[in-house]
Amino acid sequence: MVEMPPPPSCSFASDNAAGAHPAVMEALVAANTGHALAYGSDPWTAQVEDRFRELFGPRSRTLLAWNGTGANVLALASMIRPADCVVASQWAHIVVDETGAPERILGAKLVGLPSTDGKLVPEQLHELEHQIGVMHHAQPGVLSITQSTELGTVYTADEVASLCDEAHRLGMTVHLDGARIANATAALGGTVEALRSFTVDAGVDVISFGGTKAGLAFGEAVVYLNEALADRAVYIRKQVTQLPSKMRFVAAQFDALLRDDLWIHLAERSNSLATRLHAATATIPGLHYDAAPEVNSVFPVLPPSWVAPLQSWCFFWPWDPARGQVRWMTAWDTTEDDIDRFAAGVEVVAHYN
Ligand SMILES: Cc1ncc(COP(=O)(O)O)c(C=O)c1O
């Protein structure tokens, strides 16, 4: 048997398996000087609030938070009204991967609508209209979409705009879970205009803006584009335990990530490496892809006998074991060499299993 090549320097488990970008770590260390007032009354937070206003406009308001689940809970808690439910796709992180945190903290029902590609369409909201005004139904109050989605797909700006239009017509507000908003921005053109096209211009009300998967050690931001919803959010953040006391350390990291569009450049890189991984493995006999990658993940279907030997050589997570589908995800620090080595390892396993 041919030996496996040396494993890649990274895993393909997730973008949150990567460390923090060196510029982010430098900013974190540089912020560690002297005293600064807590809870966001520090110069780093003021500076990063300016950076978010540059991205999303002067009327946007940004609250920094600890983590993605907490950012989503804060966003939704500041949007929901009594007796509302939150509508999302069946794959949404808030529906399947937050241990019921939104339900527990919001005290509200989450409705996961069917989707084959992680995206929703306006007709699915239209079908909920009959529930509105009926006292026996939780009232569809908030639409939450994920960009890029949990299945590695990307809504176009027009798709987001038509969902926002329909949601607003029904009296709902729209949350965008942007744990991977950097990858979506890179996929849609890699400019601030691209970012605005599917957020501010499309009519999104509140964004969870991901930092951790984009290159921070920790930290996320909740960006309010709908000013009315921002007013009470500052109190809600503390209630849902997402108010960092030494906020300068979250702010300094974001400042480094947003400077000179580093967040977009890193996402462009991880997206392009997923494309390289797809190209390098798509022709291996026995391996099948439903679709080419749009962002930084690929979802190949493999014979079950390949999975354990590959995982023990270079780790990744299963996705749909019943189908033999796994997920390989690139991160900001994945290299071309990592991709080439990984593809070579898949070829060896394919040959001998
Ligand atoms: C789409 C999406 N939203 C939110 C989160 C939550 O992030 P955290 O693990 O920081 O709570 C994740 C993490 O995997 C995610 O993939």
Q: Which two tokens stand for residue 225?
A: 């584009």
CA of 67 to the centre of ligand 1 (A): 8
Q: Name the nearest CA neighbour of 270 among 298, 291, 300.
A: 298
Count the Cβ atoms, other than its own, within 10 Å of residue 3: 6
27 lines ligand 1 (CB under 6 A): no
Q: What is the average pLDDT score of the chain? A: 97
Site to substitute for ligand 1 among 98, 99, 155, 177, most atoms within 8 A of C-beta? 177
Task: Answer whether 317 contacts ligand 1 (Cβ < 6 A).
Answer: no
The pTM assigned to this predicted structure is 0.97
Other residues' Cβ atoms within 10 Å of the Cβ of residue 22: 11
Spacing, Cα 66 to ligand 1 middle (Å): 12
Average pLDDT over residues 164-188: 98
Average pLDDT (176-204) is 98
Task: Report angle CA 332, 334, 337 to the nearest 5 degrees.
Answer: 150
Question: What's the burial of 320, exposed, middle or buried (CB within 10 Å: 0-12/13-18/19+)?
Answer: exposed
Residue to mutate (ligand 1; options 97, 250, 319, 329; most atoms within 8 A of CB): 97
Of ligand 1's listed atoms, the one at least distance from the Cα of 92 is 1
Residue with tokens 């096209």: 197
- How much helix, strand and coil, in percent to the nearest 5, is found in the chain? 45, 15, 40
Average pLDDT over residues 221-240: 97
Q: What gap in Å lies between CA 205 and CA 233, rounded to an integer? A: 13
Per-residue pLDDT, 3: 82
Q: In this structure, what token pair is assigned to residue 240?
A: 């849902």
- Give the rounded percent of residues in the chain with a pLDDT score beyond 90: 98
Query: What is each CA distance from 41 to 38, 48, 51, 247, 255, in whole angstroms?
Result: 6, 12, 16, 8, 15
Cα 285 to ligand 1 centre (Å): 33
**Minimum-distance ligand 1 atom for the alpha carbon of 220:** 10
Per-residue pLDDT of 327-346, as tens digits, reads: 999 999 999 999 999 999 99
* Ligand 1 pocket residue status of 212, Cβ below 6 Å: yes
CB 45 near ligand 1, within 6 Å: no
The reply to whether ligand 1 has any atom less than 6 angstroms from the CB of 278 is no
Residues 57-110 pLDDT 10s: 999 999 999 999 999 999 999 999 999 999 999 999 999 999 999 999 999 999
Q: Is the pLDDT at 1 greater than 60, yes or no?
A: no
> What is the percent of the chain where pLDDT is above 70?
99
Ligand 1 pocket check for 179: Cβ under 6 Å: yes
**Residue 201 pLDDT > 60, yes or no?**
yes
Is the pLDDT confidence value at 2 over 80? no
Question: d(Cα 237, Cα 222) in Å, to the nearest integer?
Answer: 10
Secondary structure letter of residue 128 according to DSSP: T
**C-alpha 208 – ligand 1 centre gap (Å):** 10
Evaluate: CB of 88 within 6 angstroms of ligand 1: no
Phi, psi of 338 (to 5 degrees): -60, -45
